[in-house]
Amino acid sequence: MTASPRPSRSAERTFSEPDPDRGHPASDRVKVRRDTKHRGRYDAATIHSILDATPFCHLAYVQDGRPVVIPTLQVRVDDVMYLHASTGSRLGLSAHEPWPVCVSVTLHDGLVLARSGFHHSVNYRSVVVMGDAVLVTDPAEKLQALDATVDHVVPGRAAEVRPPTARELEATAVARLPLAEASAKARTGGVNDEPEDLDLPIWAGVVPLSTAYGAPLPSPDLAEGIDVPPSVRALLGR
């Protein structure tokens, strides 16, 4: 389940489009290391496309000298990532001062099933962002970030709902994290078997993965005559 010690990259591609300019890492901290270096990209277009493809992320921080990672939501607005939290969370409590964090956004695109266990792999796209998160204090920026978060989960939804009250805005913590130090990494393409394994009578190929949306379940207390809204219909492709 890893890269080969002597990789033959015939079947594996790093990203689906050619990359004459993969960009340059903003710092050593985000430089993609070791034998999968060819999978790294640092250009804003690649990084933004991955961040824009899912709101789900994992946020890491250091507490009492030890690492902690939790799932949360992110949204990109221009070259800033906004992180969602509540005021009582570690993020809400700690980011009054610039707070060192690392965020990973990962999309799993396929299971790569090789003829050997060793060459099994996963097609994925991921971004890692490092930097200092700071709580947003400006109400207008906070409102924009929260609406953008709702719209990142279901595009168009923010305009359909009741806007937040002042009290609700206060009860929500939003942190901003510049995208200055970010890197993207991906594996795409097919199976990368050893040449001597190609004749084995073992199936090899890729099983695509994607996120499926099920049929919407209306709230039991929903009043009669309220249809599934345009945002949800668009999400489901209907």
Cβ neighbours for 128, distance < 8 A, ≥ 6 positions apart: 30, 102, 103, 104, 182, 183, 185
Assess 7 for contact with a second copy (CB under 8 A).
Answer: no
At closest approach, how far in Å is the CB of 26 from a second copy? Answer: 14
Assess 158 for contact with a second copy (CB under 8 A).
Answer: yes
Binding to a second copy (CB under 8 A) within 166-205 occurs at: 167-168, 171-172, 190-191, 193, 197-205
Taking residue 145's Cβ as centre, other Cβ atoms within 10 Å add up to: 22
Q: Note whether 15 and 46 are within 8 A (CB).
A: yes
Binding to a second copy (CB under 8 A) within 81-110 occurs at: 84-86, 88-90, 100-104, 106, 108, 110
Binding to a second copy (CB under 8 A) within 56-85 occurs at: 56, 58-71, 73, 84-85
Strand 172-178 and strand 121-135: the pairing is: antiparallel
Choose which of 20, 210, 237, 238 interacts with a second copy (CB under 8 A): 210
Q: Which is nearer to a second copy, 20 or 222 (CB)?
A: 222
At closest approach, how far in Å is the CB of 20 from a second copy? Answer: 26
177 phi and psi angles, rounded to 5 deg: -135, 115
